[in-house]
Amino acid sequence: MAFLSSLCALLAVCATVTANNARSADLIRLLGPQGVNLVRLDSLATPRPFLKDSSEFGVQEVLSKGDGKRTYDFRAEWFQQPLDHFDDNSSHVWHQRFWVNSKYYKPGTNAPVIVIDGGETSGEDRLPFLDTGIAAILARATGGIGVVLEHRYYGESIPVSNFSTDSLRWLNNAQSAADSVNFMRNVKFDGIRENITAPGTPWIYYGGSYAGARAAHMRILYPDIVYGAIASSAVTHATLQAWEYMTVIRDAADPKCSSRIVSSIASIDAILERGYFKKQLKGLFGLAGLEHDEDFVSLLESPLGYWQAKCWDPEFGSTKFDDFCGTLSRPFSRVMAAADIESLPFEDEKRMVTFEDGFTVDVAVVNYAQWIKKNVVSRCKSTVEDCFGTFDEEKYHVTDLKQDWRLWLFQVCTEWGYFTTPPPDQKEPSLISRLINLGYESKICKQAFPPGKYFKVPGLPNITAVNELGDFAIAADRLAFIDGDVDPWRPYTPHSDYAEDRDDTILRPFKLIPGGVHHYDEWGYKKHPRGA
């Protein structure tokens, strides 16, 4: 088709237009039950849940109408879907939200429809990609139409009255894929007279991260409907323990910063293991009242996820990871010189800070504690055990529609996994505490989702449901993969070191962005620097 050469040529351009859209779901994915606590704190503290540099690490700005920044003229439209695509006896229907950009559309040319999968967040968060990002770039190049399709259960595409275990049983890969194919086969766009449904019109499916895996899966599952797909940072390999995530950050970050974090965590683990000065250590972080050591060390992971919030465009990116690194190297007092702090080895006597009762730690631990107190603990308006404790399961039993943290967690617990743990090799340097293990990270699944009348969450996620669709080796003609080489999610994509290498061809593009983090290609300039 005429548009295909333009599309394939454009992929090389897209690979250099680096960007990042890390979502709040990653907070839960990386910190498990502690992530749920932080999401709940944010929901209580502010009515603006997706703001740049919010405490939900990795979150990008919505930039939708009413936030005082960029606004969009896209009007929400609705498409009727069945709740259960695979039960002919079910008559329950709901409405899926979508938005259309037809400004570049050239009727009568059989130009493509580029659909962006909304993934595990509100579809409103994808509007930048419809306005100036990847959907607009491809639509402009091909004379096509851009669409954002909101994922079932997210945003306002909610098919149920609550988020109980039973009500969430239709939130899975198969039902979501069936939503998309039903939409492509039958949708009618306001203001467009000709039939643009698939397969008569070529549809290009785009997604990033979880949605990137869905884009790849759509090309495999429905090759007659999905003409082509672009899978950005596509996590096509599901796993129970995602320990490689932190090793990517450890190896890609400034070596001095990585060393300080690794040494600080090792020192903290040693103090907790010995038991002496445990209370003083937690008090230093403002967490003296936090009962369980696992909850304490889990909270210390919170600044690390800012790595994936890096973006080539400063309007959307976060500098908080680098700011955190800078914090670790600050002198504790006027007696300490910044140059000495940098040059001296960890726990050199000149770097040590002594408190009451002889409690002594390296200055990096003190600075780490100050960052946690300022950026995390300060948001707690009750006791630290109430805010950051994770062993009282009653706090996770509320199931009304305001508890949208339950959505991605349910998908993690049933099919996707990615529980963050330290490296299995005990000798390998770790950015996170050795007290963190799969049992601690996954216990939230039993706590939040007790067995229902019709559905029971498995003991561990059924990751086979994801991996049987292709895993690392997933491939097809007109299926493009784009990844960043320092994306902490790369170990779970076809660009993983565990995957077989493959050629980058026009028919099967396989792009790796140097210095790129999480789906860098999704963003675009509001005004292209070349005036295009």
Statement: residue 52 has pLDDT above 50: no
Q: What is the CA radius of gyration of the chain?
A: 24
Are residues 315 and 258 part of one domain?
yes
Are residues 421 and 341 part of one domain?
yes
Provide the sign of the torsion angle of the four alpha carbons 148, 152, 153, 157, taken in this order. Answer: positive
Are residues 444 and 305 part of one domain?
yes
pLDDT, tens only, 238-268 = 999 999 999 999 999 999 999 999 999 999 9
Query: Which 3 state secondary structure label does DSSP give 126?
Result: helix
| pLDDT, position 295 | 97
Within-domain flag for 532? no
25 close to 58: Cβ distance less than 8 angstroms: no
Are residues 402 and 254 part of one domain?
yes
Q: DSSP class of residue 413? A: I
Statement: residue 149 has pLDDT above 80: yes
| pLDDT, position 343 | 86
294 close to 436: Cβ distance less than 8 angstroms: yes
Are residues 287 and 201 part of one domain?
no
Statement: residue 5 has pLDDT above 90: no
Rounded to the nearest integer, the mean pLDDT of the chain is: 88
The C-alpha atoms of residue 121 and residue 407 are separated, in whole angstroms, by: 9
The C-alpha atoms of residue 267 and residue 352 are separated, in whole angstroms, by: 12
Statement: residue 527 has pLDDT above 90: no
Are residues 255 and 235 part of one domain?
no
Statement: residue 16 has pLDDT above 50: no
| pLDDT, position 22 | 36
Statement: residue 17 has pLDDT above 70: no
Provide the sign of the torsion angle of the four alpha carbons 236, 242, 245, 251, taken in this order. Answer: negative
**209 among known catalytic residues:** yes
Are residues 128 and 105 part of one domain?
yes
Within-domain flag for 175? yes
Average pLDDT for 144-167? 98
- As a whole-number percent, the residues of the chain with pLDDT over 90 amount to 76
Are residues 228 and 314 part of one domain?
no
Are residues 124 and 191 part of one domain?
yes
235 close to 23: Cβ distance less than 8 angstroms: no
- Structural domains of the chain, count: 2
Task: Please report which confidence band the pLDDT of residue 1 belongs to, taking 50, 70 and 90 as the band edges.
Answer: very low
Statement: residue 102 has pLDDT above 60: yes
| pLDDT, position 6 | 39
Average pLDDT for 354-381? 94
Domain that holds residue 262: 24-44+243-448
Cis previous bond, 509, omega within 30: no
Q: Report the DSSP beta bridge partners of residue 229.
A: 205, 479
The helix, strand and coil proportions of the chain, stated in percent and rounded to the nearest 5, come to 40, 10, 50
CA 50 to chain CA centroid, Å, is: 13
Statement: residue 164 has pLDDT above 80: yes
| pLDDT, position 61 | 32
Statement: residue 42 has pLDDT above 90: no
| Residue 233 in tokens | 């940072």
Query: Of 7-11, 192-196, 479-483, which gets the smallest average pLDDT?
Result: 7-11
Statement: residue 9 has pLDDT above 60: no
Catalytic residue among 209, 232, 263, 442: 209
| pLDDT, position 45 | 60
54 or 215, higher pLDDT: 215
Nearest Cα neighbor of 214 from 238, 197, 198, 196 is: 238
Within-domain flag for 108? yes
Please tell me whether the overall predicted TM-score, pTM, comes out greater than 0.85 for this model: yes
pLDDT, tens only, 404-463 = 999 999 999 999 999 999 999 999 999 999 999 999 999 999 999 999 999 999 999 999
DSSP 203-226: EEEEEETHHHHHHHHHHHH-TTT-
Within-domain flag for 300? yes
| pLDDT, position 68 | 43
Phi and psi, residue 116, nearest 5°: -95, 120
Within-domain flag for 495? yes
| pLDDT, position 151 | 98
Are residues 389 and 249 part of one domain?
yes
Within-domain flag for 168? yes
Catalytic residue among 42, 179, 483, 487: 487
Three-state secondary structure of 344-360: CCCCCHHHEEECHHHCE
The C-alpha atoms of residue 395 and residue 382 are separated, in whole angstroms, by: 14
| pLDDT, position 258 | 97
**485 among known catalytic residues:** no
Statement: residue 12 has pLDDT above 50: no
| pLDDT, position 115 | 98
The C-alpha atoms of residue 209 and residue 235 are separated, in whole angstroms, by: 6
Statement: residue 133 has pLDDT above 60: yes
Are residues 294 and 258 part of one domain?
yes
Task: Please report which confidence band the pLDDT of residue 65 belongs to, taking 50, 70 and 90 as the band edges.
Answer: very low
| pLDDT, position 341 | 78
Are residues 348 and 479 part of one domain?
no
The C-alpha atoms of residue 21 and residue 514 are separated, in whole angstroms, by: 17
332 or 436, higher pLDDT: 436
